Amino acid sequence: MRLPQKKDREHLQKRPIYSDEEIAEIIEEATVDSYGRDEEINSWAAYLEDELAFPFLVKILGKTVQVIKIEEKYNSLKLVVISEGKKYQVDVNDVEVVKSETLHIRNELLLNAYRKWCNNE
């Protein structure tokens, strides 16, 4: 995997907010052939497990933590994070993706699509 070069990073940092079409396309991919909320949550969990680039950094309550995986719990998705050597589960809706050297832009897009789907349900 090639890390983004400096000129690539500068371009990505200036990237506009994701379009409704990009978000809708991801929602469709994640939930295709799913019927009902339970199946859709299962589909989202599998889709994000495959598509997210782990590990990545997020901020929660002003603190930066590392995300190592995603899990389904209580009919919603939780990110498993490591903070000070301990593992915690946090709700996807409570975090902000940190722009890092590898710029997990796609992770941000994927999590935004999940959030939009949650808010429309």
What residues contact 41, with CB distance under 8 A and at least 6 apart?
72, 75, 76, 77
pTM for the full model?
Answer: 0.80
| Residue 60 in this model has a pLDDT that exceeds 80 | yes
Evaluated on CA atoms 51, 6, 21, 66, the torsion sign reads: positive
Residue 1 lies in a domain: no
- The answer to the question of residue 104 being in a domain is yes
The CATH number that applies at residue 45 is: 2.30.30.530
* Mean per-residue pLDDT, 100-109: 76
What is the pLDDT, as a whole number, of residue 101? 55
The more confidently predicted of residues 104 and 55 is: 55
Answer yes or no: is pLDDT of 6 > 60. Answer: no
Instruction: Confirm whether 62 is domain-assigned.
Output: yes
What's the pLDDT tens digit per position in 81-101? 999 999 999 999 999 998 765
Instruction: Determine the Cα–Cα distance for residues 87 and 12; give it in Å rounded to an integer.
Output: 30
Structural domain range at position 21: 6-120
Mean pLDDT in residue range 60-82: 94
The total number of structural domains that make up the chain: 1
Q: 20-56 pLDDT, tens per residue?
A: 999 999 999 999 999 999 999 999 999 999 999 999 9
Over residues 92-114, the mean pLDDT reads 85
Joined tokens for residue 2: 């090639």
Please check whether residue 61 lies inside any domain of the structure: yes
